[in-house]
Structure 1
Amino acid sequence: MTASLVIACASNSDAILAANLAASPLLAGGVPLHVQRGAPSAAIAYNRAIDATDSDLILFVHHDVYLPKGWDILLERRLTDLAQRHPDWALAGAYGVAADYRQFGPVWTSSLGEIIGRVPLQPEPVVSFDEMLILLRRSSGLRFDETQPGWHMYGTDIVCHARASGKGAYAVGLPCIHNDRFHDALGMDFTESYRWMQTKWPQFLPIQTPVTKLSRSGLHLMRERWNMRKSLAMREGGAVHTGAHPAELAARCGWADLTPSAV
């Protein structure tokens, strides 16, 4: 499995990359890491990574994600199960939202200071992914839309592409550490991505994403901003500093070793 896997990352910080994703044990085991720097958007960065590599499986991962020991072995087991149940799968992810709004993980997020997402007992079809980790099957023919602005909601857009082409996207249960900084509010770049998605995919609306609901009216975006303002102090108090060692965070989550014999 690892022979057909490449990790692709768009990074603007060598320090964050070195402390998190590049410190993941599977990289020492020989899984290649392809880093894109200076791209104007996530979609352009990731399509460049698709064109620059030839592996069957491309794992798009944020630079502040840590994959614990045995993660690659667990991935192989999860994908074997996925292929048996859904041979036409195109995408798999660590954190996704189902059509009925259930959110599947589990993932540790430092920005919230907790493990989020229920554990899927089997591959669960989703309508949106958190962008922290998305696995793309090259043979699906999927690519990211380079007209999409910025660095938000491309996890929802690529799932919509899969749905429109009759292919599947699934949350499969891949515990990992997202050592992400605290987010106090949603910026105007998020609004730009939201409006772009509204225009592009009206046939799929509403779509619950990990952050907010994409709706025709857009009122959910306004509501989310209001809720984030009201909960600012509570959320900030629960966040964990990103200087915490991700391997220690993994151990505290019970994910020090994810090999099948240890799970």
Structure 2
Amino acid sequence: MTDFVLAVASNSEELLDANLRRSPMTAHVPLHVEWNAPSAAVAYNRALDATTAPVVIFAHHDVYFPRGWEDLLARRIADLPADWAVVSPFGVGLDGAHFGPVWSSSLGQIVGRVAMAPVPVQSFDEMVIILRRDSGLRFDGTLAGWHFYGTDIVTQARAAGRGAYATSLPCIHNDRFHEALGPDYVACYRAMQRKWAGQLPLRSPITKISRSGLHLRRDLWRARRSAGFRAGMTVDTGTPVEELARRCGWLDLRGSL
């Protein structure tokens, strides 16, 4: 499988070994790791510069791709409109609907409507972003931290007249529970407000980026208030990822439509 390369930013061999490296596709799809980068954008641009495959699969180190996922991806790419630049297993549609499906351990459930066909989106969850190299897109190196770069790359694509889509590519996000959104999240929100002032509002999977910022304040408050309830929803990230895939019915995607 020479058309794909898998790229990840990581700071933990343990998490990488327990999740992404257990994906069967890593036996034949090259895996490029960027260690301890200062931001997602820096890590992913370094990966772009260090690799040559036409399609780059950027994934979090706590993601697991079930057996046959890369073959399903090849079929999904064949179904994409010719203008596609980026695609993801999870995205926010232009109407604000969430499309998947993907498993989230922090939420303890499968999330996202099943995308029956490629769906144009306004943002991605950053767990997996698939980029077409000849689109010429790169991540914004001035965007510090680890938030909103999925919204940014989609907005870049749309501003350039290229397509950004969600499509059905079931996978496991074995993510840990986070009690609240921190100052780094707020800083990235403010950066997106400034950069895309002419395109606002934009909906990310977590909040709406608006000119006033009232949605951020509301969602920070809601996150604090709901922390106990959300903690009760989580599934232990120590559960083997293959078992999570089996419970979802995604242990082997070969033959999936």
* TM-superposed deviation, 1:191: 0.3
Question: Which segment is superposed worse, 226-235 or 12-21?
Answer: 226-235
Structure 1, residues 202-229: CA drift from partner, whole Å, max 9, x if none? 1211111111111000011111111112
TM-score normalized by structure 2?
A: 0.99
RMSD: 0.8
- Which of 159, 167, 188 matches 1:164? 159
Tell me which amino acid in the other structure corresponds to 1:61: A
Specify the SS of the correspondent of 1:221.
helix
Structure 1, residues 92-125: CA drift from partner, whole Å, max 9, x if none? 0011001110100101000010000000110000
Percent identity between matched residues is: 59
Query: Which residue of structure 2 lines up, in the alignment, with residue 215 of structure 1?
Result: 210
Asked if 1:91 is matched to 2:89, the reply is no
* TM-superposed deviation, 1:232: 1.2
Query: Which residue of structure 2 lines up, in the alignment, with residue 45 of structure 1?
Result: 43
Is the 1:112–1:238 Cα contact (8 Å) retained in structure 2?
Answer: yes
Tell me which amino acid in the other structure corresponds to 1:194: Y
Task: Specify every segment of 5 or more residues in structure 2 that has no aligned partner in the other structure, as ranges.
Answer: none
Query: Which residue of structure 2 lines up, in the alignment, with residue 109 of structure 1?
Result: 104
Tell me which amino acid in the other structure corresponds to 2:243: E
- Which of 126, 129, 132 matches 1:134? 129
Structure 1, residues 41-80: CA drift from partner, whole Å, max 9, x if none? 1101100000000000000000000000110111111111
Aligned residue runs from structure 1 range 24-63, under 5 A: 24-28=23-27, 30-63=28-61
Aligned residue runs from structure 1 range 1-263, under 5 A: 2-28=1-27, 30-82=28-80, 86-260=81-255, 262=256
Tell me which amino acid in the other structure corresponds to 2:3: S
Structure 1, residues 127-164: CA drift from partner, whole Å, max 9, x if none? 00000000000000000010001110000001111011
TM-score normalized by structure 1?
A: 0.96
Tell me which amino acid in the other structure corresponds to 2:169: L
Between the aligned partners of 1:157 and 1:19, the Cα distance in structure 2 is 29
Between the aligned partners of 1:259 and 1:118, the Cα distance in structure 2 is 21
Specify the SS of the correspondent of 2:110.
strand
Specify the SS of the correspondent of 1:248.
helix
* TM-superposed deviation, 1:27: 0.8
Is the 1:99–1:207 Cα contact (8 Å) retained in structure 2?
Answer: no
Question: Which segment is superposed worse, 140-149 or 228-237?
Answer: 228-237
Is the 1:96–1:171 Cα contact (8 Å) retained in structure 2?
Answer: yes
Between the aligned partners of 1:113 and 1:195, the Cα distance in structure 2 is 30
Is the 1:247–1:256 Cα contact (8 Å) retained in structure 2?
Answer: yes
Q: Which runs of 4+ in 1 moved over 6 A?
A: none
Between the aligned partners of 1:186 and 1:47, the Cα distance in structure 2 is 25
Between the aligned partners of 1:229 and 1:43, the Cα distance in structure 2 is 28
Between the aligned partners of 1:250 and 1:96, the Cα distance in structure 2 is 20
Task: Specify every segment of 5 or more residues in structure 1 that has no aligned partner in the other structure, as ranges.
Answer: none
Tell me which amino acid in the other structure corresponds to 1:228: A
Tell me which amino acid in the other structure corresponds to 1:31: V
Is the 1:7–1:60 Cα contact (8 Å) retained in structure 2?
Answer: yes
